[in-house]
């Protein structure tokens, strides 16, 4: 409900200006539409004469489009230990690749417990090996660092270089076209025509 005495009307098929609220409502009724507040905090409030249901539908549609465009990047965590085996390493690498392809960052860390803190070098080797595995889809933001009893490395997603490969193939394909051997065909045709020219003329002598 619009409870102010006056409103400012804007839109099509009307004269823009300030109207009494009762008059604006009457104008909306005559057109079979609704009087909708566009800017309720203005003085006086700004209204339009439109189809309210259509207005709500378009508003929700725009909100969905905005949410779809605003992709929120998350930070996914992957945990290792100094004794992580190859099977567990490969399993976690596949998950990390998926996270990076989806546009998320990946925070990996090696958790040291008790005396395992003595094997910091082993933890660094695991994280650097992980960086090599993810090189095609993720970039290491910095060298592994220690935070308490954790050695941490963060990976950011990067775009795959597909266009460069396609352009190289196009260049190679273009270089192969002028290399077709066309010149050697001409002498072969001449050689075949030369022996076909002479014809035997000994039949009249045999008849005599």
Specify the pLDDT at position 71: 59
Residue 62 has pLDDT above 50, yes or no: yes
The percent of residues in the chain predicted with pLDDT above 70, rounded, is 74
* Residue 140 covered by a domain: yes
Mean pLDDT value of segment 107-124? 86
Residue 193 lies in a domain: no
Q: How many residues does the chain have?
A: 208
- CA-to-CA distance for 139 and 105, rounded, in angstroms? 10
pLDDT reported for residue 160: 53
12 and 82, same domain (yes or no): no
pLDDT digits 0-9 by tens, 84-105: 899 999 999 999 999 999 889 9
CATH number, domain at 16? 3.10.20.80
Same domain for 30 and 85, yes or no, is: no
Q: Residue 207 — pLDDT band, cuts 50, 70, 90?
A: very low
Write out the residue range of the structural domain in which residue 28 sits. Answer: 6-68
Do residues 105 and 55 share a domain? Answer: no
Whether residue 15 sits in one domain with residue 82: no
Question: Is residue 135 assigned to a domain?
Answer: yes
Q: What is the CATH number of the domain that holds 81?
A: 3.30.110.10
Flag whether 174 is in a domain. no
Residues 114 and 149 reside in one and the same domain: yes
With CA atoms as reference, report the closest residue to 45 among 53, 36, 54: 36
69, pLDDT greater than 80: no
Higher-confidence residue of 167 and 182: namely: 182
Higher pLDDT pick, 3 / 191: 3
- Band of pLDDT at residue 192, cut at 50, 70 and 90: very low
Alpha carbon dihedral 140, 145, 151, 154, in 10-degree steps, equals -30
Beta strand 46-50 with 34-39 is antiparallel
**Could you write out the DSSP letters of every residue in 19-40?**
EEHHHHHHHHHHTT-EEEEEET
* Whole-number pLDDT of residue 130: 93
Band of the pLDDT at 174, cuts 50, 70, 90? Answer: very low
Percent with pLDDT over 90 in the chain: 35
- Kindly state whether residues 153 and 82 are assigned to the same domain: yes
Cα separation, 156 vs 101, whole angstroms? 10
> What pLDDT is stored for residue 169 in this prediction?
45
């Amino acid at each position: 409900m619009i409870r102010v005495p006056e409103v400012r009307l804007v839109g099509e098929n009307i004269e823009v200006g300030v109207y009494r609220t009762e008059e604006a409502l009457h104008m909306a009724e005559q057109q079979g539409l609704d009087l909708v507040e566009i800017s309720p905090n203005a003085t006086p409030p700004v209204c339009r004469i439109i189809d309210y249901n259509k207005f709500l539908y378009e508003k929700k549609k725009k909100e969905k489009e905005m949410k779809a465009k605003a992709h929120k990047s998350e930070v996914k965590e992957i945990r290792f230990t100094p004794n992580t085996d190859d099977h567990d390493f490969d399993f976690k690498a596949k998950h990390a690749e998926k996270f990076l392809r989806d546009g998320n960052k990946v925070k990996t860390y090696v958790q040291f417990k008790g005396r395992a803190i003595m094997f910091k070098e082993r933890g660094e080797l695991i994280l650097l090996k992980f960086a090599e595995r993810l090189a095609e889809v993720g970039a290491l933001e910095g060298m592994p660092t220690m935070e308490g009893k954790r050695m941490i490395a963060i990976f950011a997603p990067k775009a795959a270089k597909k266009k460069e490969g396609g352009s190289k193939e196009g260049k190679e394909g273009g270089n192969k076209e002028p290399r077709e051997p066309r010149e050697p065909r001409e002498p072969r045709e001449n050689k075949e025509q030369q022996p076909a020219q002479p014809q035997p003329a000994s039949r009249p002598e045999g008849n005599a």
